[in-house]
Amino acid sequence: MSEMPSPFRVGHAIDVHAFATSVSPHDGKTLMLACLEWPGETPLEGHSDGDAAAHAACDALLAAAGLGDLGTNFGTDRPEWSGASGQAFLTEVRRMLSDAGWAIGNVTVQVIAKRPRMMKRLPEASEKMSQILGAPVSVSATTTDGLGFTGRGEGIAASATALIFRA
């Protein structure tokens, strides 16, 4: 192949977390999703704050750049990242891509969940994640019509696609 490599790369990822069974909203822990607090909603289980939307966006960006994923970069061998927020992961992933010579074009994230009802706060979530990544992020949400683990309210899934380009 003699052609120049494409200056564009896409990445896609899915992330899933179960709702915490050992804590209740009354314990002072709050659901973190799409880098927003959701007062009164059950938090998610996880090595971190369980922000499936932020994690899916991170994994899509890392995949696009060929830099592995959250597990390979921030796994159990790096305990300093234990309990890190979705915002912290996104900030670090943005830095990693920049260091590798990539700029972020845009990211889309779709949250698949019965709860929380996200519609009213989607613009806020999009704005927050856009600020963190320094690029347009669109957050959307859907339910699964009561089907599957998200439909039964056992957890939350998020799917993300990222476009990056050579800076």
Binding site for Zn ion (CB under 5 A): 15, 55
Contacts of residue 31, Cβ cutoff 8 Å, sequence gap at least 6: 25, 37, 38, 41, 42, 43, 44, 116
Distance CA 45, CA 27 (A): 14
In the complex, least distance from residue 99 CB atom to Zn ion, rounded to whole angstroms: 23
The answer to whether the CB of 57 falls within 8 A of the CB of 106 is no
Q: Is 81 or 140 the residue whose CB approaches Zn ion more closely?
A: 81
Q: Is 65 or 156 the residue whose CB approaches Zn ion more closely?
A: 156
Q: Is 118 or 156 the residue whose CB approaches Zn ion more closely?
A: 156
Spacing of C-alpha 104 from chain mean position: 15
Instruction: Give the sign of the dihedral formed by CA 33, CA 37, CA 39, CA 45.
Output: positive
Distance CA 167, CA 163 (A): 12
Which residue is at the shortest CB distance from Zn ion? Answer: 55
In the complex, least distance from residue 46 CB atom to Zn ion, rounded to whole angstroms: 6
In the complex, least distance from residue 158 CB atom to Zn ion, rounded to whole angstroms: 8
Q: Is 55 or 128 the residue whose CB approaches Zn ion more closely?
A: 55
In the complex, least distance from residue 50 CB atom to Zn ion, rounded to whole angstroms: 6
